[in-house]
Amino acid sequence: MGPILTVALPVTLAVVMLGLGLALTTADFTRVLTAPKAVLLSLACQLVVLPLLCFGMVKLVGLSPVFAVGMMILVASPGGTTANLFSHLAKGDVALNVTLTAINSVVAVVTLPLIVGLSMSHFLADDANIGLQPDKLVQVFGYVLVPVAIGMWLNRAYPRFAERMRGPVKKTSVIVLVFMLIGTVVQNRETIFSNIDTIGGVALALTILSFTIGYWVPKLAGVNRQQAIASAMEIGVHNAVLAMAVAASVFDSLDMVIPSAVYGTLMFVPAGLAALYFARREARIAAAERERPAEVIPG
């Protein structure tokens, strides 16, 4: 594989996670106490419902074993800073997004290797050429946990410095992420586009179902609209760069990277449409509430 996958992806992931850590405090983890239902429902959807749904989809459409594992790596990856951005655009509860991202980033240390390991055992049991490499898996999570820990330490020990760095690091992360996805697609365009018909439909369906489940499960359980929107964005927008880094670093397999690259390219369309829909609906609701005549209290 080219340098984009073997070198630039892990470095990009480290920068993104450092930016996340700079904005995290212990309050982001303790905030779960103020909205336990929304947090627990979102985590249940992301950690249990979506992996089972994705497993059923790849089995139903008959994806090749390597592509199937690539999709499972993607669905096991938590949301990222992009989910927070879309939640802000959709007028969701961004504070809840930050909390979910913080918790997911830590929980993924356990759930991601578990789901990846089970997926490999099921789909690649007969493939002796691809095996789980624990040292590589530890290396990937080093890219995730170490930068987040450094960012949180800087935020606690040097709050003014961390505050100055948040903006530049966040902007740099967004720019690098965009160029990374573009570079990966361009570098591997022949392989990607030759498989777009088989993977694209699954990735698009997974995205739409993720938004739907992420919104309606909390909403039907009594969670307020802003929290349901935040849940939808957190569950619907997976960290494609993390998934690509896992596939590239652990398996050294371009085929396993392709599902995440395709998803990372297609995801912006349904995510943008969902954010636009929610934002317009919230604006209509707010306008209707302003125009509602004030209740007259009998004298």
What CA–CA distance (Å, rounded) separates 142 from 10? 10
Per the domain annotation, does 297 fall within a domain?
no
The predicted pLDDT at position 5 comes to 56
Per the domain annotation, does 40 fall within a domain?
yes
Q: Along the 299 residues of the chain, how does pLDDT read in single tens digits?
A: 455 555 666 677 677 778 777 877 777 667 667 778 999 999 999 999 999 999 999 999 988 898 999 999 999 887 766 787 788 888 888 888 878 877 887 787 778 878 887 888 888 876 544 545 566 556 666 666 788 788 888 888 888 888 888 778 777 766 776 776 677 677 767 777 777 778 888 999 999 999 999 999 999 999 999 999 999 999 998 888 778 877 776 666 777 888 888 888 788 889 889 999 998 998 898 888 877 765 545 54
Looking at the DSSP bridge assignments, the partners of residue 79 are 238
Closest C-alpha to 249, from 68, 1, 51: 1
- Which residues constitute the domain of residue 10? 3-291
The predicted pLDDT at position 249 comes to 67
Per the domain annotation, does 143 fall within a domain?
yes
3-state secondary structure of 206: helix
Per the domain annotation, does 264 fall within a domain?
yes
Give how many domains the chain has, as a whole number. Answer: 1
Closest C-alpha to 95, from 9, 147, 35: 35
Return the CATH number at 80. 1.20.1530.20
Q: Are 90 and 274 in contact (CB under 8 A)?
A: yes
CA quadruple 289, 31, 175, 165: dihedral sign: positive
Q: How far is CA 33 from the centre of its chain?
A: 23
Rg (CA), the chain: 20
Rounded to 5 degrees, φ, ψ at 24 are -100, 145
The predicted pLDDT at position 128 comes to 44
Rounded to 5 degrees, φ, ψ at 238 are -85, 160
Per the domain annotation, does 267 fall within a domain?
yes
Per the domain annotation, does 50 fall within a domain?
yes
290-294 — which CB contacts under 8 Å span 24+ positions?
A: none
